[in-house]
A = this chain, B = another copy of it.
Amino acid sequence: MTELVAISHPDVPQGEMNALVDEAAAAGYTVALHRAGRRFLVFARPGYAAPPGSDFFRSKAYISDVISGNSAHPLGDRTRYPHGSTVQVGGIRFGGGQSVIIAGPCSAETPEVLLETAAKVRESGASMLRVGVFKPRTSPYTFQGLGAAAFEALIEARSRYGLPIVSEITSVSQLDALLSTVDMLQVGARNMQNYPLLSALGTCDRPVLLKRGLAATVDEWLSAAEYLLAGGNEQVVLCERGIRTYERSTRFTLDLGVVPVLKGRTHLPVIVDPSHGTGRADLIHPMSRAAIAAGADGVIVEVHPRPAQALSDGFQSLDLPGFKQLVTELEPVAQAVGRPLHAYSDLQPV
Interface residue ranges, A against B (CB under 8 Å) = 34, 36, 41, 43, 72-73, 136-141, 170-173, 190-191, 193-196, 199, 214-215, 217-220, 223-224, 226-227, 230, 243-250, 253-261, 264, 277-278, 282-283, 286-287, 289-295, 329, 332-333, 335-337
Contacts and interface: CB of A to CB of B under 8 A. Distances in A.
A78 to B, nearest CB: 13
Contacts of A218: 247, 249
Nearest to A291: B290
Contacts of A243: 245-247, 253
A214 B215 contact: yes
Contact of A337 (B171, B246, B333): B333
Contact of A293 (B230, B244, B261, B286): B286
A289 B195 contact: no
15 contacts: A34-B141, A36-B140, A139-B223, A140-B223, A140-B230, A190-B193, A191-B194, A215-B215, A217-B247, A243-B246, A253-B255, A257-B278, A257-B287, A287-B294, A332-B336
B246 A215 contact: yes
Query: This chain: how many copies in the complex?
Result: 4
A223 B333 CA distance: 34
Contacts of A214: 215
B257 A257 contact: no
B230 A259 contact: no
Given A246-B217, A257-B250, A290-B256, A136 B193 contact: yes
A195 B218 CA distance: 24
A258 B248 CA distance: 10
A327 B43 CA distance: 42
Contact of A246 (B194, B246, B261, B291): B246
Contacts of A190: 193-195
Given A136-B195, A138-B219, 5 more contacts: A249-B258, A253-B255, A264-B282, A286-B293, A287-B294
A260 B245 contact: no
B247 A260 contact: no
A218 B138 CA distance: 12
A25 to B, nearest CB: 18
Contacts of A257: 249-250, 253-254, 277-278, 283, 287
A256 B274 CA distance: 11
A158 B215 CA distance: 37
- What 6 A-B pairs are tightest by C-beta distance, nearest first? A215-B215, A293-B293, A332-B336, A171-B196, A290-B294, A190-B193
